[in-house]
Chains A and B, each alone.
Chain A
Amino acid sequence: MEIPFTTKPRPDTGLYNAKIGIWLFLASEVMLFGALFSAYIMLRIGAPEGTWPLPGKMLMTFPGAFNTAVLIISSVTVVLAWASLKFGNFAQYKKFQAVTIACAGIFMCVKAYEYHDKFTHYSIVKKDGSLWDGHLVEKNDEFVILEIHGGHDEAHEGGHDAHPHEADGHGAGHQAVVQPAAYLTIKGSKDAVVNVDPKTGEHAHGEVRFEQSEILKMVNYGPWHSSYLAIYFTLTGLHALHVCGGALVIFMIWGPLSKMWETDRERYINRVEVSGLFWHFVDLVWIFLFPLLYLL
């Protein structure tokens, strides 16, 4: 039996079924991300004073802004690809949609770089009470080596939050805030100084070696590190899954399923339109995620 209204619109709605289906699906997606956004609000409002990272300090702004531009470009190419098909220009559709797929790949590469940066970024509390923060160079049963990129206590430079500490960054010019909440349970104080040798009082730079026997606690900047990173990984991880899913569907329609262009053009165009609507939603979510997680 043939599936009805795959190309022709239903008389009562004026829409083909897949289009109603994708909009209903997007409605449920809005509520899914809405629940996570409300969790973000509650975590941020309920965070102990001084523990929520300063705007733009925990994450590098440039990769986030770059990924925003990448998704905006892909949104334009998706709609132009659909329009090209509408006017029968299959070759142009293939070009535009290839750019879309490439953009999805670039987005995921940048995301992977950001995740890698966080998972190799460690905080260490030594038994002498000193706090250390840097990127992992080497780790074995005997010792740990962290790369420390310099830093200083921002509170002493007139930062509008009195507690977080700029400590380590990755790459030129980047400095991240150490989430002090991880130290609170151990130090019982928000006035911790980071990456300062307690014996000499000097700020450490470069590679610093820690004996395993000296380490009281060592944790990386994964989702378990703090409420901020928990919601960051949850929101961006779910969004990244949507990017992968959307790109896979667009790729399948663009490649293996493109034979339908010869057999059932209207249905093929509708598939491109529906996958494009999903892709625009992915872009929409990122438009809110970028300022909330990276800037504000």
Chain B
Amino acid sequence: MASDHSNPPKNLKEFLFKYERNYMVVFGTLLVFTIITVAIAKVDLEHWFHGANMTVGLIIATFKASLVMLFFMHLISEKQLIYLVMGFTFFFFVGLMGLTVWASNDFPKLTSFFH
């Protein structure tokens, strides 16, 4: 959290000068990348490789999510136990997504009717 940083601000005025600016930079970045997400989705990137639009869209979303976690949720300066909890969560989440994509060659039984 903000007060955990080195040289923490001593009053609200100093805080607003030092940290509100950071929050506003993150806020602006999030809005800009939301616009970029919409713009990118309207451009056909599939000639790069199959699934290029999806890949770029998800990379931008991951970047935005990282900004929220690091600065708004203050993961940039948290205690070790929180990192441990989120580390386990990240591992299992990526595992779940990875296995889902990896195992996607076996289609659900009903949909195989159409193939």
Q: Is the CB of A284 within 8 A of B34?
A: no
Secondary structure class of chain A's binding surface, majority of residues: helix
30 residue pairs from A and B, CB less than 8 Å apart? A14-B81, A15-B79, A20-B82, A27-B86, A31-B89, A34-B96, A35-B96, A42-B108, A45-B107, A46-B104, A46-B108, A48-B111, A48-B114, A48-B115, A55-B41, A56-B42, A65-B34, A75-B27, A76-B24, A79-B72, A80-B23, A83-B20, A84-B12, A86-B2, A283-B72, A284-B65, A284-B69, A287-B65, A291-B57, A291-B60
A-B pair count, CB < 8 Å, reads 142
A15-37 to B contact mask, C-beta < 8 Å, 1/0: 10001100110110011001101
Q: Is the CB of A295 within 8 A of B2?
A: no
Q: Is the CB of A41 within 8 A of B97?
A: yes
A25 to chain B, nearest CB (A): 10
A75→B31 CA distance, assembly (Å): 12
CB closest chain-B residue, reference A38: B100
Q: Is the CB of A296 within 8 A of B41?
A: yes
Contacts A30-B89, A41-B100 given; indicate if A72 touches B31 (C-beta within 8 A).
Answer: yes
Within 53-76 of B, Cβ neighbours of A (below 8 Å) are at 53-54, 57-58, 60-61, 64-65, 68-69, 72-73
Q: Is the CB of A79 within 8 A of B61?
A: no
Give the chain B neighbours of A42 by CB distance below 8 A. Answer: 100, 104, 108
CB closest chain-B residue, reference A79: B72
A79→B15 CA distance, assembly (Å): 12
B86-109 to A contact mask, C-beta < 8 Å, 1/0: 101100110011001100100110
